[in-house]
Amino acid sequence: MSVTDKSTPSRGFAHSDIAETSSFPLIGDKFPSLEVKTTHGTMNMPDAYAGKWFVLFSHPGDFTPVCTTEFVAFQKMRGDFDKLNCELIGLSVDQVFSHMKWTQWIKENLKVEITFPIIADDLGKVAMALGMIHPGKGPNTVRAVFIVDPEAAIRLILFYPQEIGRNMDEIIRSLKALQVADKNKVALPANWPNNDFLGDQVIVPPPGDEKTAATRKTSGDMVCEDWWFCHKKL
């Protein structure tokens, strides 16, 4: 992936124009083809996870307290990701030997074995291609999260600064929400499945034309607050 024009796109640009000026892939883009060196050997991404969801997350560095708590948290929730047909893979600009020594320390001292691979990106090429290095925060990777679907499309991107650990429950919630939205062709409200107004109900997409809008009304399991705001329980 090469980017030569890093100017800020103006309003009215088409998606292709914006993509050309961006330093990393955007939501809806295909995950770029990358050969990466990991603690589990060399992998070709996204082919290694064909047919599965995966969460790629970066951390600033090995042998750091916040990153250690995150890796332990990810590993302890590995079963939750497995149930959602989702793999985990970490990344930092450390060498593979550092990753291996660090995960060994975690196993020996915290009694948690890290079973997912960690990309060794010591030259920073992968991190730069994915926009994980933010110059204003130094040369290390920020805490980026990419959720990628079985078709290798990027569905969600999160960025946290180095000083703030990630909320694992939110990553799981987002993954579940994406899968529910895809399966049922619906949208999800704020804080789903614990929305103050709708609870665990889902939102029916609004009609796309006036004729359909005129007939949209409460029926069956669907409740309509107005023609453009209908919801139902799955």
Q: Does residue 86 carry a catalytic annotation?
A: no
Distance, in Å, from the CA atom of 153 to the CA atom of 148, rounded to the nearest integer, reads 6
* Three-class DSSP labels, 147-163: EECCCCEEEEEEEECCC
Q: DSSP character for 165?
A: -
- Among the listed residues 208, 202, 169, 165, the one whose alpha carbon sits nearest the alpha carbon of residue 186: 202
- Among the listed residues 122, 160, 126, the one whose alpha carbon sits nearest the alpha carbon of residue 31: 126
* CA atoms within a 13 Å half-sphere pointing along the CA-CB vector of 10: 0
- Among the listed residues 141, 137, 136, the one whose alpha carbon sits nearest the alpha carbon of residue 126: 141
Here the tokens at position 31 are 């995950």
Torsion angles phi and psi, residue 25, rounded to 5: -65, 155
- Among the listed residues 227, 169, 173, 228, the one whose alpha carbon sits nearest the alpha carbon of residue 200: 173
Q: Annotated catalytic residue: which of 67, 86, 224, 230?
A: 67
Residues 154 and 26 sit within 8 Å (Cβ to Cβ): yes
Here the tokens at position 46 are 């996204």
Query: What dihedral do alpha carbons 69, 74, 77, 81 form, nearest 10°?
Result: 170
Distance, in Å, from the CA atom of 117 to the CA atom of 37, rounded to the nearest integer, reads 9
Name the residues annotated as catalytic: 67
